[in-house]
Amino acid sequence: MRLFIRMLDGVPFEHPLIESNMRAAFPFVDLDNLPPQFMPFERVQCPRADEGKIIVSAECRYEIQDGVVRDVWTVVQEDAPVA
């Protein structure tokens, strides 16, 4: 499933749209030749905790990498409590 995101002043705006919603909302946009107001989006899952650790906070932001907007995660881990 392809995802797309609107751009506003060169910055990702709001949230990604799945292809069917993109076609419905913007029927005249060629999804294979996007205008500057849109970019492809790639969802990246939150990383898992390292062995013996727990995730105490996780923040996601959108970043442009190689012509695609992607989720970029900042994760804080701590040692898992010993039972």
Quote the pTM value: 0.88
83 pLDDT exceeds 80?
Answer: no
Domain holding 31, by residue range, is 3-79
Q: How far apart are CA 33 and CA 55, in angstroms?
A: 39
Domain count, the chain: 1
pLDDT beyond 90 at 59: yes
Diameter of the chain measured on Cα atoms: 59
Burial 55-80 (b: 16+ CB within 10 A, else e): eeeeeeebeeeeeebbeeeebebeee
Structure confidence by residue, pLDDT tens digits, 18-47: 999 999 999 999 999 999 999 999 999 999
Q: Which two tokens stand for residue 80?
A: 């898992």
